[in-house]
Chain A
Amino acid sequence: MSFLQLKQITHYYFNRSSYTKALDNISISVDEGSFISLLGPSGCGKTTLLSIMAGIIHPTFGSVLINDKPLEKNQREIGYMLQQDYLFPWKNIIDNVLIGPKIVGNKQKEMTEKAKQLLVDMGLETVIKSYPNNLSGGMRQRVALARTLITNPSLLLLDEPFSALDFQTKLKLEDFVSALLKRYNKTSILVTHDIGEAIAMSDQIYLMRANPGEIHQLFEVPIEVRDLSPFEARKHIKYQHLFDRIWEELNSLETKSTIG
């Protein structure tokens, strides 16, 4: 039985003069503990799909089930991480991490201890009382991850969380996040346009195409690559093979769309 199921999701965006079919009949099922990537050109609706899984957008048609129950009853199961950290600049680091429990109305005292522990785990113990403006991009994104993890979600939705970082920080953070998610046995869904990142981090890659957004093809990441850390995975020969296959597929999508 699948942990997360998307059943025939179709979504339209309407505005005054026209409408766009952002997603067309998308069905995905995700096993517990696995890491899925949604890869595709910009405008293929991958962020829309993620927002639907997060319950922030309601799809025009179709349903999202977690453990066979509809999404609305599972709000707390989900952690959502955005492209930028969106830490609140007027709150210090620990209060930023504690925003989730505060919204849910959880016991502050226990949660404060948990938040401190999480920050220590992430190597952020020296900046607990600092403000976001004093932190580097990589540190801020780690704080954002701590903020996402503190409510103990079983499903993590990552919307290009590394795209705003410099390359070195990005590689380090990929390793860090990958190890952390494996340790906590989280089910994760990553949206990205970076082929390498998708292969290095995930178990399965859904390649999407645009206009309307559809699943084009599913790639299984070879088991040898999966078990390596993202940084090591990038050096593996099978990583390179898969990269080339996806690269060609993406190119063919592009030529099709220019001809069409």
Chain B
Amino acid sequence: MKQNQQSDKQLFDRHVKKIKADKRHTRYMQLLLFLSFFILWELSSQFHWIDPLIFSSPSRIVSLLYENILNGNLWYHMRVTVLETIAGFFIGTIGGIIIAFLLWNSRKLYDVLDPYLVVLNALPKVALGPIIIVALGPGYFSIIMMGAIISIIVTSLVVYSAFREVDKNYITVLQSFGATKWQCFKEAVFPASLPSIISTFKVNVGLSWVGVIVGEFLVAAKGLGYLIVYGFQVFNFTLVLYSLLVIAFIAAIMYQGVNKFEAWLIRKI
């Protein structure tokens, strides 16, 4: 009996060890891919296999990054873009949820607005950029609106359909206690739809970046999107790639942040 138990435990340990080894292996592969990409980039640039004027090189980007960290330029441009993105994300997401609630609250409103929502959803929102800028003036506000408008319609449609799919019997239970429509929403519809709502968060982080960067392309005098356009105009591709890497880095952090928030929220409810 004792021997048997021990061997059970050994089996389990072996299983755990195998999972850990497998995970480590995946990490090594990821690191290898990362390093080989940058090393190959650096070498091909040094030996002129690719045009260093266009493709720059990791070493030049790193030295530019170092320089910009020291003189505060990185922080200056990054701050603007990040704040615009976060603001666009919140306005788009929360606005979308509010629209979804209004549509859920009134079937008539949904029926009336349905064709317009379909058209607005199909329309590429960045094409509205020039109009937004003319209407709201060339400034932060326009850029934030770009970040928001790109996600608001799709959010409202996705969240609305999540609201509709909530099992009617949950609402029946509440109605049998005489619940109002708002109580039904608060106690059943909203919490039951939270998983869908959170998944729109993840999509919207990416969408807000698109809106803000395009907005900066069009009007800005600072921000990472501005740096990309400026670098392009003066043919400084080190600057373009440097901005791109900074964007990739921050976008990944924001995405992870939403992931963490999701995990926290799911534990909470």
Binding site for B on A (CB under 8 A): 51, 54-56, 75-76, 78-80, 82, 84, 86, 88, 90, 99-100, 102-104, 147, 151
Docked pose: A76 CA to B183 CA in angstroms: 16
Query: What chain B residues lie within 8 Å of A82 (beta carbons)?
Result: 169, 172-173
Query: What chain A residues lie within 8 Å of B112 (beta carbons)?
Result: none
How big is the B interface, by class? 10 to 19
Q: 6 A-B contacts, Cβ less than 8 Å apart?
A: A56-B176, A75-B178, A86-B170, A88-B170, A88-B191, A90-B194
Chain A min CB distance to B205 (Å): 24
Which of A75, A84, A99 contacts B187, CB < 8 Å? A99
Name B169's closest neighbour in chain A (CB-CB): A86
Nearest 9 pairs between A and B by C-beta? A80-B176, A90-B269, A75-B178, A103-B177, A100-B177, A103-B179, A90-B191, A86-B169, A86-B173
Query: What chain B residues lie within 8 Å of A76 (beta carbons)?
Result: 178
Docked pose: A88 CA to B179 CA in angstroms: 15
Docked pose: A80 CA to B194 CA in angstroms: 27
Residues of chain B in range 161-188 having any CB-CB distance to chain A below 8 Å:
167, 169-170, 172-179, 183, 187-188
Query: What chain A residues lie within 8 Å of B178 (beta carbons)?
Result: 75-76, 103-104
Which of B175, B176, B188 contacts A88, CB < 8 Å? B188
Name B188's closest neighbour in chain A (CB-CB): A88
Docked pose: A84 CA to B175 CA in angstroms: 16
Query: What chain A residues lie within 8 Å of B174 (beta carbons)?
Result: 99, 103
Name B269's closest neighbour in chain A (CB-CB): A90
Docked pose: A102 CA to B178 CA in angstroms: 11
Instruction: Contact check, B169 vs A103: say whether CB atoms are below 8 A apart.
Output: no
5 extra A-B contacts, CB within 8 A, seeds A99-B187, A103-B187: A55-B176, A56-B172, A86-B169, A88-B187, A103-B177
Query: What chain A residues lie within 8 Å of B269 (beta carbons)?
Result: 90
Query: What chain B residues lie within 8 Å of A100 (beta carbons)?
Result: 177
Query: What chain B residues lie within 8 Å of A75 (beta carbons)?
Result: 178
Query: What chain A residues lie within 8 Å of B176 (beta carbons)?
Result: 54-56, 78-80
Chain B min CB distance to A221 (Å): 27
Docked pose: A80 CA to B176 CA in angstroms: 6
Docked pose: A84 CA to B265 CA in angstroms: 27
Docked pose: A147 CA to B187 CA in angstroms: 15
Query: What chain B residues lie within 8 Å of A151 (beta carbons)?
Result: 177
Please indicate which of the listed interface residues B172, B173, B178 has the most CB atoms of chain A within 10 Å of its own CB: B173
Instruction: Contact check, A86 vs B167: say whether CB atoms are below 8 A apart.
Output: yes
Chain B min CB distance to A155 (Å): 11
Name A151's closest neighbour in chain B (CB-CB): B177
Query: What chain B residues lie within 8 Å of A90 (beta carbons)?
Result: 191-192, 194, 269
Chain B min CB distance to A87 (Å): 9
Chain B min CB distance to A249 (Å): 31
Query: What chain A residues lie within 8 Å of B169 (beta carbons)?
Result: 82, 84, 86
Chain A min CB distance to B221 (Å): 47
Which of A78, A80, A99 contacts B172, CB < 8 Å? A80
Docked pose: A90 CA to B189 CA in angstroms: 12
Docked pose: A79 CA to B175 CA in angstroms: 11
Please indicate which of the listed interface residues A51, A54, A55, A88 has the most CB atoms of chain B within 10 Å of its own CB: A88
Docked pose: A56 CA to B177 CA in angstroms: 10
Query: What chain B residues lie within 8 Å of A86 (beta carbons)?
Result: 167, 169-170, 172-173
Docked pose: A51 CA to B191 CA in angstroms: 25
Query: What chain B residues lie within 8 Å of A80 (beta carbons)?
Result: 172-173, 176
Chain A min CB distance to B268 (Å): 9
B231-269 interface code vs A (CB 8 A; 1 in, 0 out): 000000000000000000000000000000000000001
